[in-house]
Amino acid sequence: MRVLRRGDAGPDVAEIRSILAGMDLLPPVAGTERYNTFDVAVEQAVRAFQQRRGLITDGVVGQATYQALKGASYHLGSRPLQYLLSAPVNGDDVFTLQERLTELGFDAGRPDGYFGPQTERALRTFQRDMRLTSDGICGPATIRELHRLSSPRARGGRPVFLREQEQVRQAGPRLRGKRIVIDPGHGGEDLGVVAGGLREADIAWDLARRLEGRMQATGMEALISRGPNHSPTDFERARFANDAGADLFLSLHSDGNPSPRAQGVASFHFGTGNGTTSTVGELLAGFIQREVAARTGLLDCRTHYKTWEIFTRTRCPAVRVEIGYLTNPDDAARLGDPAFRDVVAEGILIAVKRLYLLGEGDQPTGTFTFADVLAHELAKAE
């Protein structure tokens, strides 16, 4: 699809208008010409939808926003649902199914709106237990049974994320043996933000290598998601982490903005804004945010939930960190300094250590050092 923004016109704009009107984000209008036009009202409605869905709020309908809009036009029961390997089914109806199955005690995995093999297994088990045809297709009979069972055990898919927490607890405080995928953003021909002689892809790659070395020194298995001249899609990066059986996924980026006054560090994790969030991802994002801000002096732009594909398609807790703005002179000067990138790498490592410590022998933010981590690992080994 083509990217749609204010000023565009045509039947694809009419489709966007229709979906937004169906969600009461846009009032109906008279006249074919205006209905086919992407005007200010449409842009504002798109921004409201993006904010509601945890997408980048730019008022532009790109691939991610269009996919979310299309998915929002489906409700549970509006179409049969089944697992298709060639063209995965996704939408709000799949998300509702996943949450409903989870509430009833069937492990459909992370509610992400994609009908994958884990959702199919949970659906087949539900159908079998309800003495329905166990075909993995969510049709009328299955919908009726789901509606009939109107007393869920839990709300919002939280059991999935409680399992995440339990896995961290059972993993123990040592870093040795933990498998972490480090994901330097962009790469290859995709340079990311370019400003002041610095390229985001290069900064992310250098930072990933520094973090990799420190993690390996603690006994962790650190894997980098791409090579220096390769730029995988978000789906490919997530698949790499899934195939590797990663415990955590860390995506490294820097930011840019038309205003040179924009600056600081921000961290992101999976969350929908309706109570469904990766509790471990949120906890790790908070640790990273506080450690990096305290150690570097970068402006603290806090943590935020998002429904980006890099979060919905990874099966392990995932965090994305936007470290500084290359379009801000102060941030850029810091990011261009290798010693500063060492400080950032240490801060991220300490944050991961704090996640697994779960409060045991922890220290105030910004005071735990790499030497402390190595000493703790050695003490635990004995």
pLDDT tens, residue by residue, 131-180:
999 999 999 999 999 988 865 444 444 566 667 777 888 888 889 999 99
pTM for this prediction: 0.81
Percent residues over pLDDT 90 in the chain: 70
The identity of residue 166, as a single letter, is E
pLDDT, average across residues 304-310: 91
pLDDT confidence of residue 278: 87
- Quick check: 37 pLDDT over 80? yes
Please indicate whether residue 216 or residue 160 has the higher confidence score (pLDDT): 216
* 88 or 311: which leads in pLDDT: 311
What value does the mean pLDDT of the chain take?
90
- What's the mean pLDDT in 332-359? 94
- Binned at pLDDT 50, 70 and 90, residue 198 comes out as very high
**What would the mean pLDDT of 86-92 be, rounded to a whole number?**
87
For residue 156, the model assigns a pLDDT of 45
More confident site: 333 or 165: 333
Instruction: Tell me, letter by letter, the H, E, C secondary structure of the chain.
Output: CCCECCCCECHHHHHHHHHHHHCCCCCCCCCHHHHCECCHHHHHHHHHHHHHHCCCCCCCECHHHHHHHHHHCCCCCCCCECCCCCCCCECHHHHHHHHHHHHCCCCCCCCCCECCHHHHHHHHHHHHHCCCCCCCCECHHHHHHHHHCCCCCCCCCHHHHHHHHHHHHHHCCCCCCCEEEEEECCECCECCCEECCEEHHHHHHHHHHHHHHHHHHCCCEEEECCCCCCCCCHHHHHHHHHHHCCCEEEEEEEECCCCCCCCCEEEEEEECCCCCECHHHHHHHHHHHHHHHHHHCCCEEEEEEECCHHHHCCCCCEEEEEEEECCCHHHHHHHCCHHHHHHHHHHHHHHHHHHHHCCCCCCCCCCCCHHHHHHHHHHHHC
Q: Establish how many alpha carbons lie within 13 A of residue 351's alpha carbon, considering only the half-sphere containing its beta carbon.
A: 29
pLDDT above 70: residue 283: yes
Instruction: Check residue 380 and give its pLDDT.
Output: 74
What's the confidence (pLDDT) of residue 154? Answer: 45
pLDDT tier, 363 (very low <50, low <70, confident <90, very high otherwise): confident
Sheet of 318-325: strand order equals: 221-224, 179-184, 248-255, 318-325, 265-270, 300-306
> Largest Cα–Cα distance of the chain, in whole Å?
77
Segment 238-256, tens digit of pLDDT: 999 999 999 999 999 999 9
Least confident of 144-148, 267-271, 274-278: 274-278
Q: What pLDDT does residue 160 have?
A: 64
What is the rounded end-to-end Cα distance, in angstroms, of the chain? 58
Would the pLDDT of 237 be above 80?
Answer: yes
Work out the average pLDDT over 106-131. 92
